[in-house]
Structure 1
Amino acid sequence: MKALACLRRHALLLATLVSVVLGFTIGLLCRQLNPSPDVVILISFPGEMFLRMLKMMILPLVVSSIITGLANLNSKSAGKIGLYTIVYYIGTTVLATIIGLILVLTIRPGHFYNNNVVDVRSSGGAPSASARDVFLDLVRNVFPENVVQASFQTSGTVYVQKHTGVSLQDNSTATHNSSLNETSSIQTSEGIWAPKSVYRSGMNTIGIICYFVFFGVILGRLGKKGKVVLRFFTVVNDITIRMVLILLWYSPIGIMFLIMGNILSVKNLTATAKQLAIYIVTTLTGLGIHVLIVLPLLQLALTRKNPYKIVKGIPQAVLTVLATASSSATLPITIRCCEENLKINTAITRFVLPIGATINMDGTAIFQVISAVYIAQIRRIPLHFIEIIVLSLCTVLGSVGVAGVPNSAIMVLMVILSSVGLPVEDISILLAVDWFLARMQGMVNITGDCFAASMLDHFFPYTPVGQTDVDDSMPSEDEEETVKADTDV
């Protein structure tokens, strides 16, 4: 009976594990049949629907979670938690960058690369965004012009050729921002290019978080006047969590088809793996050291608790990010694992995890710094001490500003390469394995978020007083029915 009860309790986790194994196995077997691109699209469709459903939950969950989490804290505690969170996230990102640098400079995977196996395609066109552009875009996104627009568009810098107004860097549909910057032009062999700030498709998560952090803090200070609004967002959060729980039962099917589609879409899987084996091993070693040694040791030093209990409590979130390659899309499941399995205070999870899914990208930092130095080693370009410092700073800045969605790390890597004068077109070497490494990065990113939530829960182990006030001041359903019956009499 105990075994049966345990099986029922972990049925969803077991089903997800089976789906991962089946996805890899069936995907590898189907590669022998050489399916057409149309067949691959159809195979990937159920997984695409799962990913779209997860993304559908991000906006309501982030908004309601941050508002209820901050409003249930007093202003002094909210300030301390916010400060500790930012310091912890930036500190672990710096550690991750140092780990990546040490490994890539020690192993030197670029010296094992054979230029005859994988061709380098020239990207051409407009110059890449600079480190200055990334910083300015980050500040622009922190303070969006329109919070509604921020839910579906994000600000970014592209370079357009003067006198033509045509951008060759950004092929996506973009609307121009009202504040255009043409004061800093770049001249290349193809013409003169000027930077422009434009809006691109995609949720501006960091801007939404910034706005609703202020909203939640002010709501918590309103006292009784704000309790009706707080109760509304609390109910919205509960509804969203229940919708996520229903969605989770579709996750094994979605995960299996996502993995199958990704494996079938990769060309020359075996040749690419052999060519980039040392690079892949170096990256995976850095990710493993950070998530299995550095973060647990930091957690043990700060809390004196067994850190590996955190890893054991989030397998569902880890498997989901393995399929989706998106820490933002996995956010609903990460919150559920932390609250139900790790028993972390809801006020902590609803504040810390949405911010972590946006700015805490330790795995991405390791990938970016290793990839940049790897390309320099391939080209036999020596990096001096100052260039390594600049590269490290750009890595930290880029990983903080990168969106938690697939392939976003590659875009930031272009900026890092251009900041130290490395050839941006060499990124094409890494595209064949980015689908795999992006998933490994995501696993490290969400695990770091959970470590942060557990650490803050240790330092702030109390029940949110705001939640108690709301429940006491607002009548329950039974009380409302009693009042109504008395009124009718």
Structure 2
Amino acid sequence: MHAATSTARRGLPLHVKVMLGFVLGALIGLVVHVVAPDATWVANAIAYVAKPFGQIFLNLLFMLVVPLMFSALVLGVAELGDIASLGRLGWRTLIYTAGMTTAAVGIGLLMVNVMQPGLHLPPGLVQQAMASNLAKAGEIVTKGNELNFVDLIVNVVPHNIVGAMGDDKQKLGIVFFALMIGIGLVMRPSPGTEAFKNALQGLFEVCMHLIGMFIKLAPYAVFAFMFILCAQLGWSVLIGLGWFVATVVIALALHGFVVIPLWVRFMGGMSPLVFFRGSQEATLTAFATASSNATLPVTLRVAEENLHLPRKVSRFVLTVGASANHHGTALFEGITVLFLAQVYGLELPLVKQLLVLVLCILGGIGTAGIPSGSLPVIAMICGIIGLPAQGIGIILGVNTFLDMCRTALNVTGDLATAVVVSHRSGEADLPENAPTQGGVGH
């Protein structure tokens, strides 16, 4: 009987282990925050155990992002077989991404106008939050002032691909370079290019194998992330900014659990239950890491093994999506800008709110897929519409939690886009009850 129990434990699916790590980390963190919030041993446990372990886990994933992104996208383009197929796939991806991002931002703006979170914030809390986060807010504003949409467009074409690989703000440059290499492979078939394609396939397979090894650490990393968050902040910050947090979470939930399921069902031909069951591992990983780029290896594996999407579509759509398809980020940016306008008493007419919507759609594309990558973009948008960007300091206390939530929606949106593009392009006939068990537990 003991042997049977041991086997069952070893066979526990990964997503269940991740959820257990999430719950235990949050509970223990909250208990520690209540019992010993300022204890030295708590600070040491966070500084010397939890944070380093979590950072090492993230670094293991980030280490594979560039080679995986490059090889997956080049192979995805090369497997399309002709430029016309790439054009059709690219336009579908762009149109669906723009449409769903518009819907997400629209939901965010509607919710912030209905709930009016900026009017429920006590002036004392505003001053306290601004004072405690003044230095960090100033750093974000400086980064936001350095951003402009012309530079974002210009940097899509990298002048130094090696430099772009080391800069999180230039991930779109890697996407462009990979697209060019893939197009070159399609246009110039030869024994040499075929050998190069085989080498890239080998690189992709090695990366995926390493991911399978590293991802076994995910439950422990999730435990560490949640322990840090709850031990340091507890519930006080969430309660103080409760209306803002509630507005963001409700808007994310509406888009994630209403709009996306309907889109997947009627445009992607897949049961929402099948979709969510197959994508839950990637969604939980995105929530824990707060990074679309770090989650990309898991997202690619989930798309092929759990959702059974065709490789040439999933590799293209998901690799581009990790850099440019950020539903949750765009939604959060819109809510935050209008929230700060309400806090400062700035009335934004419909025309300016439509401007915010457009800026958030573009900002979602230009946001780096890393933790808190949207904050400099929010600072830039605030500057454009005449808001003091230092107000970002108000929401920094709850940003970590909300960053995790919006990243989970980003990745879910990427997978939904891949499902819809696969179905609408005729690349895959997705059955109503496609199998979802293969690859869920590793």
| Residues 201-280 of structure 1 aligned to structure 2 (within 5 Å) | 202=168, 204-225=170-191, 226-266=193-233, 269-280=234-245
Which residue of structure 2 lines up, in the alignment, with residue 198 of structure 1? none
| Residues 72-471 of structure 1 aligned to structure 2 (within 5 Å) | 72-74=79-81, 75-119=83-127, 120-121=130-131, 133-153=147-167, 202=168, 204-225=170-191, 226-266=193-233, 269-462=234-427
Secondary structure in 2 aligned to 1:143?
coil
| Deviation of 1:231 (Å) | 0.7
- Out of 32, 37, 45, the residue aligned to residue 39 of structure 1 is 45
Do 1:46 and 1:258's aligned partners in 2 also have CA atoms closer than 8 Å?
A: no
Bigger Rg, which one: 1
Q: 1:35 to 1:55 in 2, by over 3 A?
A: farther
Between the aligned partners of 1:429 and 1:243, the Cα distance in structure 2 is 40
Do 2:287 and 2:405's aligned partners in 1 also have CA atoms closer than 8 Å?
A: yes
Please state which structure has a larger fraction of its residues in strand: 1
Secondary structure in 2 aligned to 1:142?
coil
Secondary structure in 2 aligned to 1:283?
helix
Which residue of structure 1 lines up, in the alignment, with residue 437 of structure 2? none
Amino acid at match of 1:391: V
| Deviation of 1:40 (Å) | 1.8
Amino acid at match of 1:222: R
| Deviation of 1:132 (Å) | 10
Between the aligned partners of 1:330 and 1:433, the Cα distance in structure 2 is 22
Do 1:118 and 1:272's aligned partners in 2 also have CA atoms closer than 8 Å?
A: no
- Out of 29, 34, 48, the residue aligned to residue 27 of structure 1 is 29
Secondary structure in 2 aligned to 1:328?
helix
- Out of 47, 55, 68, the residue aligned to residue 61 of structure 1 is 68
Between the aligned partners of 2:211 and 2:173, the Cα distance in structure 1 is 24
Which structure 1 residue ranges, 5 or more long, are not aligned?
A: 154-201, 464-489
Between the aligned partners of 2:20 and 2:141, the Cα distance in structure 1 is 45
| Deviation of 1:399 (Å) | 1.0
| Deviation of 1:459 (Å) | 2.8
**Once superposed, which parts of structure 1, at least 4 consecutive aligned residues long, lie more than 4 Å away?**
1-10, 122-133
Between the aligned partners of 2:139 and 2:287, the Cα distance in structure 1 is 34
Between the aligned partners of 1:462 and 1:124, the Cα distance in structure 2 is 48
Amino acid at match of 1:78: L
Per-residue Cα deviation, 1:106-133 (whole angstroms, up to 9, x for no partner): 1111111111124224556997577994
Do 1:47 and 1:254's aligned partners in 2 also have CA atoms closer than 8 Å?
A: yes
Which structure 2 residue ranges, 5 or more long, are not aligned?
A: 429-442
Which one scores higher on RCO, CA 8 angstroms, separation ≥ 6? 2
Between the aligned partners of 1:6 and 1:90, the Cα distance in structure 2 is 45
| Deviation of 1:338 (Å) | 1.0
Q: 1:351 to 1:260 in 2, by over 3 A?
A: same
| Deviation of 1:265 (Å) | 3.6
Q: 1:304 to 1:344 in 2, by over 3 A?
A: closer
Amino acid at match of 2:150: L
Do 2:144 and 2:378's aligned partners in 1 also have CA atoms closer than 8 Å?
A: no
Q: 1:402 to 1:146 in 2, by over 3 A?
A: same
Q: 1:462 to 1:396 in 2, by over 3 A?
A: closer
Q: 1:410 to 1:462 in 2, by over 3 A?
A: closer
Amino acid at match of 2:46: V
Between the aligned partners of 2:314 and 2:186, the Cα distance in structure 1 is 17
Q: 1:35 to 1:457 in 2, by over 3 A?
A: farther
Q: 1:47 to 1:211 in 2, by over 3 A?
A: same
Paired-residue identity, %:
28
TM-score, normalising length from structure 1?
0.80
Which residue of structure 2 lines up, in the alignment, with residue 197 of structure 1? none
Do 1:131 and 1:419's aligned partners in 2 also have CA atoms closer than 8 Å?
A: no
Do 1:327 and 1:357's aligned partners in 2 also have CA atoms closer than 8 Å?
A: yes
TM-score, normalising length from structure 2?
0.88
Between the aligned partners of 1:11 and 1:270, the Cα distance in structure 2 is 30
Between the aligned partners of 1:6 and 1:350, the Cα distance in structure 2 is 33
